[in-house]
Structure 1
């Protein structure tokens, strides 16, 4: 378990799959995801079984401390252990908890785990340019712009671009110091 102030991260379990499936089927949530998701219970079971045996992926549930409600999931995928890279994905599936800073807290927790425990060097992500809420969250967590993949998705009124973002270990460690300093000022 990875513990924060308002949320903790724990491995997803089979009991979580109905909720994960519901999020996968939610049009508003899936609109911003750049991957094919399991959309039937059988596909979800297969995805979960594959995930458990994949040494190049780690997936966590995002859980609220005060009521132990699973509100989302966060993943490190495509981990290349030799080079210390991984791709990050996050989803706050429970919309009542959007815009409360829980995504930023989750990212900070997962990045701490990735850089301290897993000893990774670089975390990257892909986000649609139209997903402004996510881009703001990633910037707050320390991610920097890296590039664009134009015409990545067809939209009724044109195309969408994927923004590539990343954070390096040393960048995170500097930000982590600043966050701790800020927290000690707030507490003290």
Structure 2
């Protein structure tokens, strides 16, 4: 994915981005929402999680005004995940996304909203998808508000969907469906 909209630029992950990922994923403020404070990343974990041979997952860095500020990945949902999420039309093109603003100096400044809006525009214009989905934990109100501002809606609760800091948490299945 290469996409620019205003001050946001999304581009494929490069080798030189590994140190940013490592730093972000060792910051307790970031880990509170992504992966968990009990799981700080080693360099090897960054390599394994973000630089693997998964052909379906596309890993990207998000820049704001030229600064690396976050991470975004997207992937087509497989049939098993579609069914687990409650989708019965397996012919639909549905992509899932995961993302975070890794530089907390850019939190609460609208950067996440700009990132999500740019991503939605890219997928609707370039990919012609039926819907986009994500699954934030129900207690992550800031992320949920951001996604709702960008046109996502809460579809259903996914019970005990994510292991975070030693406990299973419910998540919202949120979806963006083009008009």
- With normalisation by structure 2, the TM-score equals 0.79
Q: Which residue of 2 aligns with 1:63?
A: 63
> Which one has a bigger Cα radius of gyration?
1
Measure how far apart 1:7 and its partner are. Answer: 1.5
Structure 1: unaligned runs, 5 residues or longer: 172-188
Is residue 64–residue 111 contact of structure 2 (8 Å, CA) maintained in 1? no
Tell me by how many angstroms 1:34 deviates.
5.7
Give the stretch that moved more between structures: 78-87 or 129-138.
78-87
* Mapped partners of 2:146, 2:107: distance in 1: 11
Indicate which of 72, 75, 80 corresponds to 1:74.
72
Pick the aligned partner of 1:118 from 127, 145, 170. 127
RMSD over aligned Cα atoms: 2.8
Query: Quick one: distance in 2 between partners of 1:137 and 1:9?
Result: 18
User: Which is worse superposed, 55-64 or 13-22?
Assistant: 55-64
C-alpha spacing 1:120/1:155, structure 2 compared with 1 (3 Å): closer
**Greater percentage in helix:** 1
For the 8 Å contact 1:21–1:44, the answer to whether it is kept is: yes
Q: Please list every run of 5 or more consecutive structure 2 residues that lacks an aligned counterpart in the other structure.
A: 79-89
How far apart, in 2, do the equivalents of 1:71 and 1:142 lie?
A: 22
2:50 touches 2:59 (CA, 8 Å); kept in 1? no
Name the structure, 1 or 2, with higher relative contact order (CA <8 Å, separation 6+).
2
CA distance in 2, matches of 1:25, 1:79: 29
The answer for the alignment partner of 1:45 in structure 2 is 47
**Alignment length (residue pairs):** 165
Whether contact under 8 Å (2:24, 2:102) holds in the other structure is yes
Q: Report 1:133-148 matches (<5 A).
A: 133-148=142-157
Q: Are 2:99 and 1:90 aligned? A: yes
- 1:153-172 per-residue CA deviation (whole Å, 9 max, x = no partner) reads 6789x97421111011x23x
